[in-house]
Amino acid sequence: MKPYDFPYIWIERGQRAVCQPYTAPATGIRITYDEGIAPELIARTDELLKYLRKTYYFPVRCNIEITNHRRYKSEEDGHIFYGTFMNNEDICPKRKLYPRIAVAGQLWTHLSAEDVHFTLLHELTHYFQWFFAEDKKGRTDRSIEREANDWARYILYAFQNQE
């Protein structure tokens, strides 16, 4: 079975064996927090990651950083965003680097932990889209972003309503 034959974009834990031929030497998700991130956000995010690790399989290690920023701004067009997925394929062509996610995690009055988690899940969906080469299948940026939003909502709801 090829990785793009999976029924969903996120790989469930039970599909791990099928995915083994496409797995990197290091798997899973790792997280770091910048200094100054609220302890409550760290605790709640650690709970989310525990749930994700128990429920889903990450065939290539993904390093996540919750940064002490309110937002990011694109140098190219001035676009404001709150998280980014970097596949790191262009950074060092001689040596493969693991993908990375950065999420602005500085809490202020109108940003809750749920918003940070939504952004994190959105970017993790981009990780799976990268793994399955969704961008090379002729899909539009809009359809990829919409799918990332849908999956982020679905997984956040499942996490919040787990028994």
Is the separation of the CB atoms in 152 and 125 below 8 Å?
A: yes
* pLDDT at site 109: 47
- Domain-located, residue 115: yes
Q: Mean pLDDT over all residues of the chain?
A: 85
* pLDDT at site 122: 96
Domain count along the chain: 1
pTM for the predicted model, two decimal places: 0.88
- Domain-located, residue 17: no
- Domain-located, residue 4: no
pLDDT at 152 over 90: yes
Domain containing 117 equals 26-160
- Domain-located, residue 52: yes
* pLDDT at site 56: 95
